[in-house]
Amino acid sequence: MDSGRFFRGIARITGGFSPSLSVRAFMRVLLSAADLAAGIERLAAEVRREAGDTPLVVVGVLTGSIVIVADLIRRLDGPVRVSMAWASSYRGTATEPGTLRLHLDLLPDLTGQDVLVVDDIFDTGRTMEAIVAALKQRGAATVRSLVLLRKQGRGEVAIEPDFVGFEIPDVFVVGYGLDFDGTLRQLDHVAALDEADIAAVRASKPPLGVP
Ligand code: IMP
Ligand code: MG
């Protein structure tokens, strides 16, 4: 994208904020929209290679997985049903996870089903570990896990995701569904926020991404 279009895009998203703040918070593009599209295509092929034509119940983890799920299910050939679970680590403006809460009330009966849990990122792995365990307990025949991103050197659990789109360094990322304090999910790329970006977003009122 040419820089003029980029900066006009930022101005549109952040309307009313100082250009230096807006640009700062968006500068480090880690994965472009094209990178992400290729990654989703590859993930979908890997899932079908492994699962064959088996009907899959895709369980997206709200809210970060909404964009990934929407793109992935349109690439997954074969029978698919979609449902959602909700998990929150209460991050707010913190960038470290807090207490994990799960809400599984939206899920259908999963007895005997082949489930694919889809989340945005595998950081400590605690969210995925808890959801996979809960779905197995609900009688799913198989539970596979897919994440768009995995942060290196952060894992705190014994499980590994079955499918990983991209390995990324230990940085805080936003966009393509991932948020900072509820904002910036709408970016079509994944960007890294450094400490100064985070301080700038924390200081902005109303928060970035909410015109
Ligand atoms: P985990 O339980 O530590 O693996 O964290 C997983 C959840 O934390 C993800 O579903 C995300 O919602 C959130 N998370 C972890 N790292 C980031 C990040 O860099 N940006 C935004 N959200 C993140
Ligand atoms: Mg999440």
pLDDT in the model for residue 207: 55
Closest residue by CA, ligand 1 atom 3:
124
User: Of the residues 120, 129, 180, which should be mutated to test ligand 1's pocket, given the most ligand atoms within 8 Å of the CB?
Assistant: 120
pLDDT in the model for residue 205: 60
Asked if residue 85 lies in contact with residue 114, where contact means CB atoms within 8 angstroms, the answer is: no
Residues whose beta carbon lies within 6 Å of some atom of ligand 1: 61, 64, 89, 97, 119-127, 172-173, 178-179
pTM: 0.85
Any idea where the domains of the chain sit in the sequence? 3-204
Q: How far is CA 68 from CA 26, 81, 174, in A?
A: 20, 15, 13
Q: Could you give the percent of the chain with pLDDT greater than 90?
A: 66
Question: According to the CATH classification, is domain 3-204 in 3.40.50.300?
Answer: no
In sequence order, the 6+-apart residues with CB closer than 8 A to the CB of 9 are 1
What is the chain's mean pLDDT, rounded?
A: 85
pLDDT tens-digit map of 26-45: 568 999 999 999 999 999 99
Residue among 176, 154, 203 nearest 64 (CA) = 176
Between CA 183 and CA 170 the distance in angstroms is 20
Asked if residue 59 lies in contact with residue 73, where contact means CB atoms within 8 angstroms, the answer is: no
Is 162 catalytic? The answer is no
Q: Is the peptide bond before 63 cis (omega within 30 degrees of 0)?
A: yes
| pLDDT exceeds cutoff 70 at 211 | no
pLDDT in the model for residue 9: 42
Among 63-72, 114-123, 148-157, which is the least confidently predicted range?
Answer: 148-157
Closest residue by CA, ligand 1 atom 20:
173
Asked if residue 83 lies in contact with residue 126, where contact means CB atoms within 8 angstroms, the answer is: no
Q: Which ligand is nearest to the CA of 128?
A: 1
pLDDT in the model for residue 196: 82
